[in-house]
Structure 1
Amino acid sequence: MITQKENKNWLVLYTRSRWEKKVDRLLKEQNIESFCPLVKTRRQWVDRAKLVDIPLFPSYLFVRIKTHEQSKIIQTSGAVNFITYCGKPAVIQDAEIERIRMITKHYPDVKTISLTGVNIGDHVTVVNGPLINKMGEIISVKGQSVVMVIKNINCALTIKTDHSRICLAE
């Protein structure tokens, strides 16, 4: 009988809030390959400022495991569940993991932003800033840059924004 050797795949693990680094350490102590991409950021306290490592993806880390090891991972303190796609754990290609490693290595100021629900073609309203209440259409989204056409002033703008500055128009 011929058995096929099962390959290890990178899966996305959802963790408790602010437990990413601890879960990463616990998995490595169990000899499980894990990757928690970290970036340095400056944090200000009342008495001092300090550079600290924070996860690039809050509440997420990557584990490289075989399918039968999933239950062992979930039993790790702080691990919640695997992110799924079409009912199966989402698999991340090795090349994507390497790309994330290279980005965090060469661009220490990289950060993620959420533009959930904002897509090309959406009509949006600016909710704060100098263009408050202006309506426009999203032409492209690249990182923090959103290209928006504002018709009533007949111009196109490229703005750096986060999700809190625009909302979908009704």
Structure 2
Amino acid sequence: MENQFVTKSHWKKRWLVIYTRPRWEKKVDKLLKMQDIKSYCPLRTVTHQWADRKKVVDMPLFSGYVFVWIDEREEYKVRQTLGVLNFIYYMAKPAVIRDCVIEKIEQLTKMEHDYEVVDLQEINPGDRIRIKCGIFYNQEGTVIKVQGKNVLMVFDHLNCALVSNVPISNIMLNTANVQPTYV
């Protein structure tokens, strides 16, 4: 007769990634910790500039994601936490993140202060873009060339052609001027 009891070693903890509601990363992290579930929401310090003030805030490094250190028994508890949408899956199983990856992220956030995760959106020459922050905040221009994490663009509405090299993280596509593609 087989042993009906599962040994404790079967319940091995590992790092998994959960997907959260938009802008709920820090809330989910706090709610999980209140349930004695080890979670990790890496943060970066960002200065937001408005016309009348500046504010320094901690923003999640990975928008929409939180890491959890759990075993299989705790998966249901995590799923039932307010703000958790689902686990990130790879090959029909929750994606497991190696411990060394989490350790490297922790080291980066402790040692470095000038880092970012850049969303790899499609930006191509000819696209109309808008500046999100900096001296040219809210100005529009046209992409001339994409160079790694920077975009060479021209501001053509300032009564002159001013060419500038702008980090991709400081721009957004101007979707109002994007023509729909029909297939």
The match for 1:112 among 109, 113, 117 is 117
Structure 2 length as normaliser, TM-score? 0.66
1:34 aligns with 2:39: yes
RMSD between superposed Cα atoms in Å: 3.0
Aligned to 1:151: none
Q: Give 4+ residue runs of structure 1 displaced > 2 Å after superposition.
A: 1-4, 44-48, 124-132, 158-165
Unaligned residue ranges in structure 1 (runs of 5+): 119-123, 147-157, 166-170
The match for 1:79 among 66, 69, 84 is 84
The match for 1:22 among 16, 23, 27 is 27
The percent of aligned pairs where both chains have the same amino acid is: 45
**1-structure distance, mates of 2:83, 2:142:** 43
Letter paired with 1:7: K
Deviation at 1:160, TM superposition (A): 4.7
How many matched pairs?
144
**2-structure distance, mates of 1:14, 1:84:** 10
Aligned to 1:3: 7
- Report which of the two structures shows the higher radius of gyration computed on alpha carbons: 2
Unaligned residue ranges in structure 2 (runs of 5+): 129-140, 152-164, 174-183
Aligned to 2:168: 161
1:64 aligns with 2:69: yes
8 Å contact from structure 2 (residues 125, 143) kept in 1? no
**2-structure distance, mates of 1:145, 1:92:** 29
